[in-house]
Amino acid sequence: MFLGVNMKDYVCKALAYNKMVRIYSASSTNLVEEARKTHGLWPTSCAALGRVLTVAAMISTNYKADEHLTFRIESDGMIDLTVVEACHGQVRGFVSNPEVFLQYNNGHLAVGKAIGKGYLHVIKDLNLKQPFSTTVDLQTGEIGDDFTYYFASSEQTPSSVGVGVLVNPDNSCSAAGGFILQLMPGCSDDIITKIENKLNSIMPISEMISKGYTPEDIIKELADDYEILEKNDISYYCPCTRDRFYKGIMSLGKKEIEDIINTDGKAEVLCNFCKKNYIFDKTDLESMLSNIKK
């Protein structure tokens, strides 16, 4: 029954409708399940983070291996912070409140209600002097609508974003996936009408994944003529290292580190993204001090 979970996670990129439309599609069940296990996510928190992770996984395949993409949603709901970072299909993220289970009357997970009103910040670090940062108002907090609006208003690319996550009765993720349709400049009204008709007739994306649809099958649902350009594996991955946190503590400065030595005697740092705990004892802290002096 739960076909989606056995499928490999990957993104497919295609050109369709006589090369006037770019399509991304993804199956992301395993990476969302990885996030769910890492953070102990309840269903609505899982759907919220899973949807953002899926958009990030799709978009980040466009960037080079050393370019980083960050989505940060600050809002006023039960989940008031959602952060996702991505680097060429490798994604990691967290939500401020992992234990939210809210449903609408129709039984759907109430992601928009859990997130509430607020802002979507998109930060692109392309190894230039300064990262690019843009902010848009959230539209519904349902994620798909919010990214649709972001692409149209900030990137001047008319788009349609669909993302979905289904959760099993035991809270594990049974299916997750998404698509992004983007119109190229000069796309005709005729094509737009065709796409609108398709979007109105397809089943929800999470249902497609749970029925075993691959990213190629999703593209087939969205377009009659298409050409697959590339496929990229995607996964949940945290690149944090002990060395990075060591440098992080060092950057606090001499006075702060001396305070830590005199009070707790050690520093404990928890990675927000993978929940790994790093402990720096007195010897570590003293070596930081001597490194600073150098």
Minimum separation from the CB atom of position 275 to Zn ion (A): 7
Alpha carbons 260 and 35: distance in angstroms, whole number:
32
CA dist 77 and 50 (Å) reads 17
- Spell out the residues 6+ positions from residue 264 whose beta carbon is closer than 8 angstroms to its own: none
CB of 273 to Zn ion, least distance (A): 5
Q: Whole-number minimum distance, CB 274 to Zn ion, in Å?
A: 3
**Cβ-based neighbour number of residue 51 at 10 Å:** 32
Is residue 222 within 8 Å of 23, Cβ to Cβ?
yes
Crossing angle (nearest 10°) for helices 282-293 and 254-263: 160
Nearer to Zn ion, 226 or 278 (CB): 278
Distance in angstroms (rounded) separating the CA atoms of residues 211 and 13:
21
- Comparing CB distances to Zn ion, the nearer of 81 and 240 is 240
Residue from 11, 274, 285, 288 binding Zn ion (CB under 5 A): 274
d(CA 110, CA 100): 10
Distance in Å, CB of 121 to Zn ion, minimum = 21
Q: Are 97 and 162 in contact (CB under 8 A)?
A: no
| Of 93 and 144, CB closest to Zn ion | 93
* Residue 206-245 contact track with Zn ion, rule CB under 5 A, x = bound: --------------------------------x-x-----
- Residue corresponding to tokens 């060429």: 88
**Are the CB atoms for 109 and 167 separated by under 8 Å?**
yes
The residue (of 211 and 247) whose beta carbon lies closer to Zn ion is: 247
Closer by beta carbon to Zn ion, 147 or else 273: 273
Please say which residue, 3 or 240, places its beta carbon nearer to Zn ion. 240
Number of residues forming the site for Zn ion (CB under 5 A): 6
Residue 269 sits in the site that holds Zn ion (CB under 5 A): no
Rule CB under 5 A: choose which of 273, 280, 285, 288 binds Zn ion: 273
Q: Where on the chain is the footprint of Zn ion (CB under 5 A)?
A: 238, 240, 271, 273-274, 276
